[in-house]
């Protein structure tokens, strides 16, 4: 039995925050040393931050990354630590993992496969390293190996798969296994998406089994740069067994996960495998020999269990609650805002946003304690020594803004939710303001406005007059206004620009309305583990979603204006995620919703495509939203579409000819 202790630390980094990033790295190294870790993996590009965007091409950024690397190196005495940084070589930028051993930089492994889909744009900044190439680069007048290399640390061979390298069919790990590598480190910046963690666990565990190695995976953590959430979740596996699972969506600056691995087990597994065909020829420059001694430990490994909230039936609701809470906290502290403001309507979206700020406080203080939570918000010193409920009141202002078409039902729902979560609540009467605009425009155009002729304009002015006042309240508090639009509304433009889209951040821009409604019912009855339900949400859940902008007699509802939200969600997925034509989407809807008339399904499909094409300009203007799944409509990070287009006219004409009005 040859036991050594390995570790993976997830870090909450910020692009270009040199001192903050260095502080987290050094703190993780110090914690690993205390824990007895001898080989530590840190996340991808952890020195610079992963989300530096085009600043990666700044020569100053590249130089500073190397400077911070030199400052970190002495802290690794007696250990081997991998850190990630960009490296310029022959006028080409590479995404590299650097191994520091016993205080000295020993070499750079360059990423072979770049993430270039979805929210990732690595090929814009980096080049993929050519397979099999090994060279050297000069750092501080010292030649250091660079490329597709691995390290022999006193007889223990260590190799790398850098994030995307492990997601492709031809994983570098297969070649490393044939060269006798014992441990594969995977420094990653793998974004959060619903259900994605299970995929990571599979490739880590299966990689350790198929390659006959121990596998150490370290991810980023938190809302790093604004839109993307990283969930952490370090993983350590050996010979097909998951040895340790780190917590996810933590509010901490770093989380260390460690495990004891037995080299004899993985080496023995390879020796017994009839299919293992090692490369016995000389491996030459690919192997970097480094003098190092691993302490042979004799204690048994203690697997780290997964968080209990991840083992229940409501994992997606739990993930949403915790991912949003962490993202809002990081956005608050990294933007140095003094809190959040929500225009609360009594409907589903604004209630959800308000509850998420409540969860930010509840989950954050439960993990960090009140003092730890506030220590990261030092500009809010008067907030010390508060209870979580009073802290919600200090950090969240909710504003109900009524016009003549607002009802007592929505007012009571808004006030009830605000009181239940402890938020400050203000009621503003805006009918006079809305009417002043109506009179102003009627005078200018020389005629009266009517609902029959001017429906959209009369609806929108009520939504728009809500924006200036709530922005003013946000400015007075030094707080950030949260927009309340969701992804379903974004898909069809069912939102008033400069009305309910007003805000500096849109927490719900990445989720559909059907899920929001399910989540609110879950929050009313169950709620996140350790927090519990918010019963007052029954006042929201009892209503049909409505903009409440037409007179009460019209009985306005969102679904009457658009279509049933569950159908809207399915059409959106088929049309946008799967890139299906209107005719193909219609046929799919007939299969999925056979109880609806063919004419209605055709109408809804046609309505979706028309509204989708007409409203790309709105999606371009929406406030930044959090990326929560791989169905995002954010044109800046995921789903690009022309602002002006032909609007699928030929395809929709074909659909109309196949399905006439009244068809069953």
Please spell the DSSP secondary structure of 190-217, one letter per residue: -B--TTHHHHHHHHHHHHHHHHTSEEEE
CB atoms within 10 A of CB 443: 9
- How far is 153 from 149, CA to CA, in rounded Å? 13
Burial 454-485 (b: 16+ CB within 10 A, else e): beeebbbbbbbbbbebbbebbeebebbbbbbb
- Predicted pLDDT at 386: 81
In DSSP terms, 136 is beta-bridged to 145
Are 328 and 354 a contacting pair, CB within 8 Å? no
Are 9 and 42 a contacting pair, CB within 8 Å? yes
- Predicted pLDDT at 283: 66
DSSP label of 573? I
Are 63 and 72 a contacting pair, CB within 8 Å? no
Average pLDDT over residues 417-437: 97
Strand 183-187 with 156-160, pairing: parallel
pLDDT confidence bin for 305, thresholds 50/70/90 = low
- How far is 253 from 376, CA to CA, in rounded Å? 10
pLDDT confidence bin for 306, thresholds 50/70/90 = low
- How far is 165 from 186, CA to CA, in rounded Å? 9
Q: What share of the chain in percent tops pLDDT 70?
A: 97
pLDDT confidence bin for 327, thresholds 50/70/90 = very high
Per the document, the length of the chain is: 664
Task: Tell me the three state secondary structure of residue 142.
Answer: strand
DSSP label of 156? E
DSSP label of 297? B
Determine the Cα angle at 52 with ends 50 and 56, to 5°. 105
- Predicted pLDDT at 281: 64
- How far is 146 from 135, CA to CA, in rounded Å? 5
pLDDT confidence bin for 654, thresholds 50/70/90 = very high
* Alpha-carbon distances, residue 267 vs 158, 270, 352 (angstroms): 13, 5, 52
- How far is 137 from 233, CA to CA, in rounded Å? 33
Are 393 and 423 a contacting pair, CB within 8 Å? yes
Burial 303-325 (b: 16+ CB within 10 A, else e): ebebbebbeeebebbbbbbbbbb
Domains of the chain: 3-306 (3.60.110.10), 310-556 (3.40.50.620), 563-664 (1.10.10)
- Predicted pLDDT at 611: 97
Average pLDDT over residues 144-162: 96
Backbone angles phi, psi at 582, to 5 degrees: -55, -40
- Predicted pLDDT at 509: 95
545 versus 438: the higher-pLDDT residue is 438
In 395-510 the beta strands, taken as DSSP E runs, fall at: 396-402, 424-429, 480-482
pLDDT confidence bin for 658, thresholds 50/70/90 = confident
Are 230 and 190 a contacting pair, CB within 8 Å? yes
pLDDT single digits (tens) 8-45: 999 999 999 999 999 999 999 999 999 999 999 999 99
- Predicted pLDDT at 271: 80
In 102-212 the beta strands, taken as DSSP E runs, fall at: 104-110, 134-139, 142-147, 150-153, 156-160, 183-187
For residue 351, pLDDT over 60 is answered with: yes
Q: What share of the chain in percent tops pLDDT 90?
A: 87
* Alpha-carbon distances, residue 639 vs 510, 530, 634 (angstroms): 12, 36, 6
Identify the weakest region by mean pLDDT among 99-113, 376-390, 480-494.
376-390
Strand 92-101 with 39-41, pairing: unpaired
Mean pLDDT of the chain, nearest integer: 94
For residue 1, pLDDT over 80 is answered with: no
- Predicted pLDDT at 646: 95
Please name which of 375, 370, 377, 369 lies closest in space to residue 328, comparing C-alpha atoms: 377
Identify the weakest region by mean pLDDT among 218-232, 341-355, 376-390.
376-390
- Predicted pLDDT at 588: 97
- Predicted pLDDT at 282: 56
pLDDT confidence bin for 424, thresholds 50/70/90 = very high
pLDDT single digits (tens) 244-254: 999 999 999 99
- How far is 49 from 85, CA to CA, in rounded Å? 8
Query: Which token pair is 262?
Result: 């037995």
Identify the weakest region by mean pLDDT among 162-171, 210-219, 299-308, 583-592.
299-308
The shares of helix, strand and coil residues in the chain, as percent rounded to the nearest 5, are 45, 20, 35
pLDDT confidence bin for 637, thresholds 50/70/90 = confident
Identify the weakest region by mean pLDDT among 43-47, 439-443, 494-498.
494-498
The whole-model pTM stands at: 0.94
What residues contact residue 650 under an 8 Å CB cut-off, 6+ apart? none
pLDDT single digits (tens) 518-533: 999 999 999 999 999 9
> What DSSP element (H or E) covers 93?
strand 92-101
pLDDT confidence bin for 278, thresholds 50/70/90 = confident
For residue 383, pLDDT over 90 is answered with: no
């Amino acid at each position: 039995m040859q036991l050594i202790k390995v570790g993976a630390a997830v870090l909450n980094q910020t692009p270009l925050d040199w001192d903050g990033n260095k502080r987290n790295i050094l703190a993780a190294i110090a914690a690993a040393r205390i824990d007895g870790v001898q080989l530590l993996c840190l996340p991808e590009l952890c020195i610079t931050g992963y989300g530096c965007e085009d600043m990666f091409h700044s020569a100053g950024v590249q130089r500073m990354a190397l400077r911070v690397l030199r400052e970190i190196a002495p802290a690794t005495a007696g250990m081997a630590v991998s850190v990630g940084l960009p490296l310029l070589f022959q006028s080409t930028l590479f995404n590299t993992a650097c191994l520091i051993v016993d205080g000295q930089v020993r070499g750079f492994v360059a990423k072979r496969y770049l993430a270039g889909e979805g929210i990732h744009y690595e090929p814009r900044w980096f080049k993929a390293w050519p397979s099999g190439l090994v060279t050297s680069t000069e750092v501080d007048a010292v030649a250091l190996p660079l490329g597709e290399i691995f390290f022999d640390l006193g007889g223990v061979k260590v190799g790398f798969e850098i994030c995307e390298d492990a997601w492709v069919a031809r994983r570098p790990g297969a070649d490393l296994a044939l060269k006798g590598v014992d441990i594969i480190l995977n420094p990653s910046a793998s974004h959060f998406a619903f259900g994605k963690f299970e995929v990571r666990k599979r490739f880590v565990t299966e990689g350790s089994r198929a390659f006959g190695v121990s596998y150490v995976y370290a991810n980023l953590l938190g809302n790093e740069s604004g839109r993307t959430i990283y969930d952490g979740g370090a993983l350590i596996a050996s010979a097909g067994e998951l040895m340790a699972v780190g917590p996810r969506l933590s509010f901490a600056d770093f989380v260390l996960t460690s495990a004891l691995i037995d080299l004899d087990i993985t080496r023995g597994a390879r020796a017994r495998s009839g299919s293992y065909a090692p490369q016995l020829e000389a491996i030459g420059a690919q192997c970097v020999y480094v003098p190092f001694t691993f302490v042979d430990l004799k204690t048994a490994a203690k697997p780290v269990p997964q968080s209990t909230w991840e083992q229940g039936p409501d994992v997606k609701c739990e993930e949403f609650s915790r991912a949003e809470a962490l993202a809002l906290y990081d956005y608050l502290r990294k933007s140095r805002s003094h809190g959040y403001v929500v225009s609360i309507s009594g409907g589903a979206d604004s209630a959800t946003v308000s509850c998420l700020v409540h969860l930010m406080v509840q989950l954050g203080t439960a993990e960090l304690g009140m003092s730890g939570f506030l220590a990261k918000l030092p500009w809010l010193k008067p907030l010390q020594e508060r209870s979580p409920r009073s802290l919600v009141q200090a950090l969240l202002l909710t504003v109900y803004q009524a016009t003549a078409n607002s009802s007592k039902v929505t007012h009571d729902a808004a006030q009830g939710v605000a009181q239940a979560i402890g938020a400050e609540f203000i009621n503003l009467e805006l009918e006079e303001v809305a009417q002043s605009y109506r009179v102003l425009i009627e005078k200018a155009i020389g005629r009266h406005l009517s609902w029959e002729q001017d429906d959209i304009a009369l609806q929108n002015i009520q939504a728009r007059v809500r924006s200036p006042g709530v922005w003013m309240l946000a400015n007075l508090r030094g707080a950030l206004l949260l927009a309340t639009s969701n992804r379903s509304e974004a898909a069809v433009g069912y939102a008033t620009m400069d009305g309910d889209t007003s805000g500096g951040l849109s927490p719900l821009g990445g989720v559909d309305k059907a899920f929001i409604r399910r989540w609110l019912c879950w929050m009313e009855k169950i709620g996140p583990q350790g927090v519990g339900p918010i019963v007052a949400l029954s006042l929201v859940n009892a209503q049909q979603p409505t903009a409440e902008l037409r007179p009460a007699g019209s009985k306005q509802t969102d679904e009457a204006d658009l279509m049933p939200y569950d159908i809207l969600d399915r059409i959106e997925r088929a049309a946008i995620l799967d890139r299906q034509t209107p005719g193909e989407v219609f046929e799919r809807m007939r299969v999925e919703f056979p109880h609806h008339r063919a004419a209605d399904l055709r109408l809804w499909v046609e309505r979706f495509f028309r509204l989708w094409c007409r409203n790309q300009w709105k999606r371009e203007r929406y406030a930044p939203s959090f990326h929560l799944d791989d169905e995002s409509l954010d044109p800046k990070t995921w789903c690009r579409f022309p602002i002006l287009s032909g609007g699928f006219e030929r395809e929709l004409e074909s659909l109309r000819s196949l399905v006439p009005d009244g068809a069953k």
